[in-house]
């Protein structure tokens, strides 16, 4: 694969994995509005890294998987410039990046399902549940990261 094309793949992977991890950490994941039909109480519940200390650790753990993918991308970019960043096999790092990307996407989808189930137990209408930037950032960031890593793997296998 051409050096410039390879660099471009991993620059995009770096951007999307970093953006997905950062969006998971600094924005809301989702939430729902609730109303009391018996009295004047109403409000909203949201899920984000800043909602609780336990939530922060959970979101940081998931975001760190995307940050690992960005480190993998940075490692490949630096190797193209003949700078040795990590002495681990590039193909092994990319395999771990794909696995971690799948894990983040799965956790985002499961988190959305759990949010809907919890909202449903609170008798919340479907229109009052929302998924926010953290969900879409994590899901899209991990999806594009996995796609680009898999595409690069495909190109490598095709060249061999």
Q: What is the mean pLDDT of the chain?
A: 86
pLDDT recorded at residue 97 = 93
* Lateral strand order in the sheet of 42-48: 42-48, 28-35, 129-131
Q: Can you tell me the mean pLDDT for 17-29? A: 92
Q: Does position 25 have pLDDT exceeding 70, yes or no?
A: yes
What are the structural domain ranges in the chain?
3-159
Q: Can you tell me the mean pLDDT for 94-103? A: 94
The residue behind tokens 């994995």 is 17
- For the stretch 78-90, pLDDT in tens is 887 777 666 778 8
Phi, psi for residue 36 in degrees, rounded to 5: -105, 115
- For the stretch 130-142, pLDDT in tens is 899 999 999 999 9
């Amino acid at each position: 694969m051409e050096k410039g094309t390879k660099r471009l793949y991993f620059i995009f992977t770096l951007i999307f994995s970093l953006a997905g991890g950062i969006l998971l950490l600094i924005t809301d994941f989702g939430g729902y509005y609730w109303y009391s039909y018996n009295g004047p109480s109403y409000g909203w519940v949201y899920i984000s890294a800043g909602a609780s200390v336990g939530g922060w650790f959970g979101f940081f753990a998931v975001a760190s998987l995307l940050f690992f993918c960005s480190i993998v991308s940075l490692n490949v970019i630096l190797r193209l410039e003949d700078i040795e960043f990590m002495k681990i096999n590039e193909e092994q790092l990319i395999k771990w990046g794909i696995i971690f990307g799948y894990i983040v996407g799965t956790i985002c989808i499961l988190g959305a399902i759990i949010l809907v189930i919890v909202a449903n137990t609170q008798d919340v209408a479907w229109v009052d549940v929302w998924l926010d930037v953290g969900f879409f950032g994590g899901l899209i960031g991990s999806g594009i990261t996995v796609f680009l890593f898999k595409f690069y793997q495909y190109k490598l296998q095709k060249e061999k």
